[in-house]
């Protein structure tokens, strides 16, 4: 009889605690999940911060938060299940009564884009795990991952280098200040501005004299096609992704120099309604942020043939430094580039792929991928 009575007590206790936890385990439970920053660049490490607060006296023996995010956000300290575009991660907690826990996940941004975590499902149960309950929690946190900023001068070399000529150091992007002569040194000048050749010649300390160029702004034109005839989306995606990074680098430099910049591309954003991009030229953090967001959300599919697009936008481009980023060149592209140059623009072509040397225009500055950059792009 004592054994039967003990069994009855145990069954009643298990049933009672199960009902208590079923009713109360997820009550007065606050959960928040948010990215540590709103913006990041491709390749950067950031944090995802989880906060859970048990506002009642009843403890929570176990709590599981089921997080669905993008596969392109890598959780460094957690095992996860990855599908085509999603990543599933679970986060486990044990909370005493009135306890608050904050957990920081290390995330690595593997790819550009806008990533959202809309909802997290909380699952909790009783002491023995025989009773469970779930609760969906809206978190609505968003992260914008901008393209990576790269070193253009390390990745691209001028065309004369590819042809075996003597290399003259040239920059893809001009400095807004031009050296226009020398003048005598004053105490207000920094030592790195001293022109030692002029100093030796005159016998007095001389510094470089700079003028700001009146014609200095950027127009970045990005070809979203990787081949001349491409109708169903970008084929060589790694090439165009490199082009997007190059465009982001130029835009970032424009921000640092306070230089007006505009972006044009024959691609469209995810919410662009299939319209090609051609922005106005402006400077400042907000304008640059809007351009970076455009690059972050570009879809790798052209909405207009690049040759037609380039010809159409060239009429509205004057008195600027045009940087044309493309995986190929042909007679139509070169012809339009020459027309823009004839209107007083400086035109530079950044070529993302290998082409025949006979197709290289000798009257336009053109840059190729360096051998090391080519190897990392094609074989990484």
The domains found in the chain, sorted by start residue, are: 27-146 (2.60.40.680), 152-174+215-379 (3.40.50), 177-212 (no CATH)
Q: Does the pLDDT at position 104 exceed 80?
A: yes
Backbone φ and ψ for 58, nearest 5 degrees, come out as -65, 125
Q: What is the pLDDT of residues 174-207, one digit of tens each?
A: 554 445 567 777 665 556 567 777 777 777 887 7
Helix, strand or coil, per DSSP, at residue 361 = coil
Would you state the pLDDT for residue 214? Answer: 45
User: Which two three-digit tokens encode residue 168?
Assistant: 């003259």
Q: Does the pLDDT at position 169 exceed 70?
A: no
Mean pLDDT along residues 227-248:
91
What average pLDDT does the chain have? 84
pLDDT bin (cut points 50, 70, 90) of residue 81 is: confident
Query: pTM higher than 0.85, yes or no?
Result: no
Would you state the pLDDT for residue 166? Answer: 40
Would you state the pLDDT for residue 209? Answer: 62
Task: Say which residues have a Cβ less than 8 Å from residue 300's Cβ, sequence separation at least 6.
Answer: 224, 233, 234, 237, 240, 241, 267
Going by their DSSP bridges, the two strands 113-125 and 100-109 should be labelled as unpaired
Q: What is the pLDDT of residues 107-136, one digit of tens each?
A: 999 999 999 999 999 999 888 777 788 999
Q: Does the pLDDT at position 94 exceed 90?
A: yes
Q: CA 260 → CA 80, 279, 282, 327, distances in Å?
A: 43, 11, 4, 25
């Amino acid at each position: 009889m004592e054994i039967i009575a003990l069994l009855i007590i145990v069954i009643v206790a298990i049933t009672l605690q199960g009902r208590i936890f079923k009713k109360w385990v997820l009550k007065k439970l606050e959960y928040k999940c948010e990215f540590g920053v709103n913006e990041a660049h491709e390749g950067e490490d950031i944090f995802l911060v989880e906060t859970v607060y048990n506002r009642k006296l009843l403890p929570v023996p176990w709590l599981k938060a089921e997080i669905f995010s993008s596969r392109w956000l890598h959780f460094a300290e957690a095992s996860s299940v990855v599908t085509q575009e999603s990543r599933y991660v679970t986060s486990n907690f044990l909370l005493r009564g009135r306890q608050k826990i904050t957990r920081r996940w290390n995330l690595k941004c593997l790819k550009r884009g806008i990533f959202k975590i809309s909802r997290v499902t909380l699952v909790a149960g009783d002491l023995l795990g025989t009773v469970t309950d779930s609760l969906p929690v809206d978190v609505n946190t968003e992260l914008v991952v901008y393209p990576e900023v790269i070193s253009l001068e390390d990745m691209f070399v001028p065309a004369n280098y590819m042809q075996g000529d003597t290399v003259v150091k040239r920059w893809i992007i001009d400095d807004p200040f031009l050296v226009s002569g020398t003048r005598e040194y004053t105490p207000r000048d920094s030592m790195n501005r001293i022109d030692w050749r002029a100093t030796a010649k005159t016998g007095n300390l001389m510094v470089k004299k700079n003028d700001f160029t009146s014609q200095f702004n950027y127009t970045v034109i990005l070809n979203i096609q990787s081949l001349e005839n491409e109708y169903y989306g970008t084929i060589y995606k790694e090439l165009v992704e490199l082009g997007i990074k190059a465009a982001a680098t130029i835009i970032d430099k424009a921000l640092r120099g306070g230089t007006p910049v505009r972006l044009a591309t024959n691609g469209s954003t995810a919410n662009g309604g299939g319209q090609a991009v051609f922005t106005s030229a402006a400077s400042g953090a907000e304008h640059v942020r809007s351009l970076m967001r455009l690059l972050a959300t570009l879809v790798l599919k052209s909405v207009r043939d690049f040759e037609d697009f380039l010809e159409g936008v060239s009429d509205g481009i004057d008195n600027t430094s045009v940087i044309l980023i493309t995986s190929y060149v042909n007679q139509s592209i070169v012809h339009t580039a020459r027309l823009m140059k004839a209107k007083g623009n400086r035109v530079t072509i950044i070529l993302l792929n290998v082409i025949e040397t006979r197709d290289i225009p000798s009257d336009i500055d053109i840059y190729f991928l360096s051998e090391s950059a080519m190897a990392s792009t094609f074989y990484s």
